[in-house]
Structure 1
Amino acid sequence: MAAQAAGQDPSATAVIRTADAPTGLLPAVRKKDDAKPVRPAVKDKGDAVGAASVAAAAAAARDGGGDEPAEETKPKRGEKVVKLRPEQTGEGYKSVYSELTRPTLGSRIRTGVRVSGELMITFGLIVLLFAGYEVFGNSAKVEDEQDTLANQLDEQWNDPTVAPSTGPSKAAPAAPGKDLVGRLYIPKLGMNWVVVDGVEPHDIRYAPGHYPQSAKPGKIGNFSVAGHRIRKIFWRLDELHPGDVIGVETRSNWYVYKVSSSEVVRPTQIEVVAPVPGQPGKKPTKAMLTLTTCNPKFNNYQRLIVHAELVETVKRDPKLPDAGRPADIKKKA
C-alpha cells in the first residue's frame, strides 16, 4: 500500500486518517497546469494562522502604505503652528480657537491702543462739529437776535417819553434798555450790527459788545468794541485796511471813522483798548474806535485789532431818509 502510495501522483487527493496524520500544515495542493504554487498568507507573531494583522494594516494605512512619513515643515519667521484638533494639557484643552483668541500682554496693549485711538477720533469729531456749528451753524440765530435787538433799539429811539427835560426841575425818564449802545456799520463788508453794552460771554454771544470802561461813541478817548470771529459778526475783519470806513449810529448822531491801522496781539495785551491805544495812562486827545476779535479763524490764541479815527460827525434826523445817514456809510467800497 505504501508502494502504491509512493507510485501515485502527489497532486492527487489522498485520504489520511486523523489518527495517522502528523501534526503540522498540509502541503498546498497544486493543479497540473498551474506553474506557480499558492503561497500561504504571511503571518505576524502572535496572530492566528492565515489571518492578516489588523494592527499592522491600520499602521500601514496611517503611514501611507508603508512609506516613510514626510519630514515636518518648520514654521517660517513670524508664523505660528497650531494643531487643528484639540488636545488636553495641564492647563485644559487647547484648540485652534483657544490658541488664537487667548489674550496675551501684546494683545491687551494693542487693544488698549486701538480703543484709545477710537475714543480720541470720536472726541475730535465732536469738537470739530461743535466748532463748525459755532462758526457756521448759528448764523440764523445771530440774525434772529440782531433783528430783535434792532427792534428794541428802534423802540427806544422812537419813544417820546425819553426826550430831554425842558427844565432843571423835572428830570426826563430813563431810556429803556440801557445795554444797547447803537449800530455799527462796515460798508466794505456790507455788514451792520446792534452793539450791546458789555463784553461778557452772554453779552456778545449774538452781537458785538462795547467795553464798558472805554469811551462812548464820538467822545474823546477810545470807543472799543469786541465781537466773535463767526460768519455773521467779525469773520472778515481782517479785510479792513487803512482808509476803510467804519460808521456808528447813536440816537443823536452819526459818526464816521476811518481805519488807521491793524495789528495782531496776544490776549493779555489789554493796552490796545486803553484811551490812547498802546499807551496806558496817557491822556487822550483824539476820538478813536477799536475793534477786537479772535485770531486766527477757528482759534483764539491771538487777537486781531483794528484801530480807526473819527473824521466826521453828522446829526441824526429821523425825519430825513435813512435818518440822514452820511454818504460814506451808505456806499459799499
Structure 2
Amino acid sequence: MSRHRASEPEDDQTTMFPRVTDEPAADASITSVLPVVPADATTVLPVISTPPSPRPAAPGAEAQPSPYAPVSPAPQAAAPVSPAPVSPAAASDETTYLPRISDETTQLPRIAKPAPSVATGRATATDETGLLGAIPPAPPPSADEPKPSPRPRWSGEPEPPPIKAVRAGEKNYRSIHSEYTRTTFGSVLRMTLRGTGELMITVGLVILLFAAYEVWGKTAIVEGHQSELEQQLNWGEPVVGAPTPTPSPSVTGKPKPPPAGQPVAKLYIPKLNKHWVVVQGVTQKDIRYAPGHYPNSAMPGQEGNFSVAGHRNRATFWDLDKLHGGDKIVVETKDMYYVYEVAKQRIVLPSAVEVVRPVPPTMTAGKLLTLTTCNPKFDNYQRLIIHGTLVHEQPRSAGPPAELAGAA
C-alpha cells in the first residue's frame, strides 16, 4: 500500500496529510489559543497530538505497518524528537498527528537498503543509492559471443627481406638493399638524364624571368626616369599669344648643345601614342633610360640631320617598325614645335654609320630627322632606320600642333 494514498477514503491512519473535519472540536483549551473558524481546507491548522492507538486488525487480514511507526535512522548523532504538548481534547483526532522536529540540526532518517552481494562501479554506499535502487552486477560474458579476428599478416610474394645488415666477407657488412642501389650502366644513364632535365628546366625558368624583366621590368624603370627628366626641363607652360622670340643678329653659329645626359628636346610619335625626353649623347649610360641625340648631328629645326638613337624595348622604340611613309613625328623644344614626316624606312648593318650623316644616302639635303634602333626585337645584329623631313614648325606660344591633338 502506498504511503501517499489510502485504499479507502475513510482510512485516516494511512493518510500523510491532516484530515480536515467538518467542525472543529469545541474545547476551551483549544479555542483559548486559536480562534474557532468555519470548516475550510485553507484555514484549519493541524493539531499536533500524541500518536493514536493502533486499530485492531480485522480477522483474517494481514497486518499493515502503521505510517506512524518509528523508522530506524541512519547511524548518526541526532537530537531526540519529542512531541509537542497538546490539549487532551485534540488527542481524539487521529488524522492530525504529525511528528515534530524539535531541533533544527536533526537530520531526516535515511532509507536503509541491504547491500548487494556484488558491488560494481563507483556507487558503493548503500544509503546513498537507496532511493535510486541498487546497481545489479554486470552479466557474465557469453561463451558464444564472437571475438574479433586478429589482423591478417602480410602474405605477398616474395617475402620481404629482413631489416638488418648482412655480412659481406669476413670483416665487412653491406645493406640488404645494396642489390637495388648498386651502380650500373642503367642507373648512371638515368641519373645523367635526370640531372640534364633539371638543368634545362632551371635555365628555361631563368630565361623566362629575364624576358619578363626586359619586357615589363625595364618599362617601369624607364617611365620613372622619364618623369624625372621632364621635371629637369623646367620649360613651364607656354603663354598663348606671346611674341615669338627671334635670334639676335649679333649671335652667329649653331646653338651650343647641353652637356651629356642632359635633356635636349621632347620627341612625340602620335601613331604609337608615345613620347620621350631626348638626352644628349648615345653611350650606354646616356640612352639607358631615354633616347639619345648624336652629338655631331644637327639640333632640332636646323639644316642637317637631327639624329636620335634608342633601345628596342617596350619603353622606348619597341614598335618603331610600324612607322611608314606619311606618318608624323613631332619634336618640341623650349620655344618651338617641329613637325617631321616619315620619308623612308630601311634596315642596315650596325657598321652603316652613313645614315647619321648631314645628308644620308638616298636623301636630299635639308632639315632632316633620323631615328635608329636595334633590329630584330631581342637582338642587335641589324639596325632599323627611319628617315623624315621637316614639313611644319610653329612656336610653343601658338599651342601644340594639330598632330598632337589627343596624343599622350
TM-score by length of 2: 0.50
Report the secondary structure of 2:373's partner residue. Answer: strand
Does the 8 Å CA contact 1:156/1:177 hold for their aligned counterparts? no
Task: Quote the residue 2:224 is aligned against.
Answer: 144
In the alignment, the residues of structure 2 paired with residue 175 and residue 271 of structure 1 have an alpha-carbon distance, to the nearest angstrom, of: 22
Distance change >3 Å, CA 205–CA 156, structure 1 → 2: farther
Instruction: Give the whole-Å Cα distance in 1 for the aligned partners of 2:248 and 2:218.
Output: 46
Distance in 2 between the 1:133 and 1:201 partners? 18
In the alignment, the residues of structure 1 paired with residue 388 and residue 298 of structure 2 have an alpha-carbon distance, to the nearest angstrom, of 14
- CA deviations on 1:39-86 (whole Å, 9 max, x unpaired) are xxxxxxxxxxxxxxxxxxxxxxxxxxxxxxxxxxxxxxxxxxxx9686
Query: Could you tell me which of 111, 127, 130 is aligned with 2:210?
Result: 130
Q: String of CA shifts for 1:270-320, please: whole Å, max 9, x gaps.
A: 3322323247xx9x6222211122223333333222111111222333xx5
CA contact (8 A) 1:135 1:229 kept: no
Q: Indicate how the Cα distance of structure 1 residues 306 and 164 shifts in structure 2: closer, same or farther if over 3 A, else same.
A: closer
Partner of 1:59 in structure 2?
none
Is 2:287 the partner of 1:212?
Answer: no
Deviation at 1:243, TM superposition (A): 0.3
Match of 2:332 in 1: 249
Match of 2:401 in 1: 326
Question: How far, CA to CA, are the matches of 1:157 and 1:196 in structure 2?
Answer: 20
Give runs of aligned pairs for residues 88-127 of structure 1, distance below 5 A. 88=168, 97-127=177-207
Partners of 2:235 and 2:334 within 8 A in 1 = no
5 Å matches for 1:289-328? 289-317=369-397, 320=398, 324-328=399-403
SS in 1 for 2:365: coil
* 1:143-177 Cα distance to aligned partner (Å, 9 max, x none): 2211110111125999xxxx9997979xxxx8976
- After TM superposition, the structure 1 = structure 2 runs for residues 160-309 of structure 1, keeping only pairs within 5 Å, are 179-278=262-361, 285-309=365-389
Ranges in structure 2 where 5+ consecutive residues have no aligned partner: 1-159, 239-244
Distance 1:189 1:232, change over 3 A: same
Could you tell me how far apart the structure 2 residues matched to 1:245 and 1:226 are?
Answer: 18
String of CA shifts for 1:83-121, please: whole Å, max 9, x gaps. Answer: 968674699667662122112355335424432442233
Contact 1:184 1:249 in 2 (8 A): yes
The sequence identity of aligned pairs, in percent, is: 51
Matching residue's letter, 2:286: D
Aligned to 1:13: none
In 1, the alpha carbon distance for the partners of 2:354 and 2:268 equals: 24
Query: For the Cα contact (< 8 Å) 1:134–1:230, is it kept in 2?
Result: yes
Structure 1 letter corresponding to 2:265: G
Shift, 1:181, TM fit: 1.2
2-structure distance, mates of 1:217, 1:157 = 20
Amino acid at match of 1:238: D
Counterparts of 1:184 and 1:136, CA distance in 2: 22
SS of the residue 1:138 aligns to: helix
Distance of 1:100 and 1:186 partners within structure 2: 69
Instruction: Give the direction of change, closer, same or farther, for the CA distance of 1:165–1:235 in structure 2 (3 Å limit).
Output: closer
**Residues 221/176 of structure 1: CA separation in 2 closer, same or farther (3 Å cut):** closer
Give SS of 2:194's match: helix
Residue correspondence of structure 1 range 12-31 to structure 2 within 5 A: none
1:267–1:175 CA distance, 2 compared to 1 (3 A): closer
Structure 1: stretches of 5+ with no match in the other structure: 1-82
The answer to whether the 8 Å contact 1:253/1:313 transfers is yes
Distance 2:266 2:337 in 1: 10
SS in structure 1 opposite 2:308? strand
CA distance change for structure 1 residues 110 and 95 in 2, over 3 Å: closer, same or farther?
same
Output the aligned Cα RMSD: 3.5
Deviation at 1:203, TM superposition (A): 1.2
- Structure 1 distance, partners of 2:368, 2:377, is 25
**Residue 90 to residue 118, structure 1, CA distance change in 2 (3 Å):** farther
Say whether the 8 Å CA contact 1:156–1:176 is kept in structure 2: no
Name the CA distance, whole Å, in 2 between partners of 1:90 and 1:312: 101
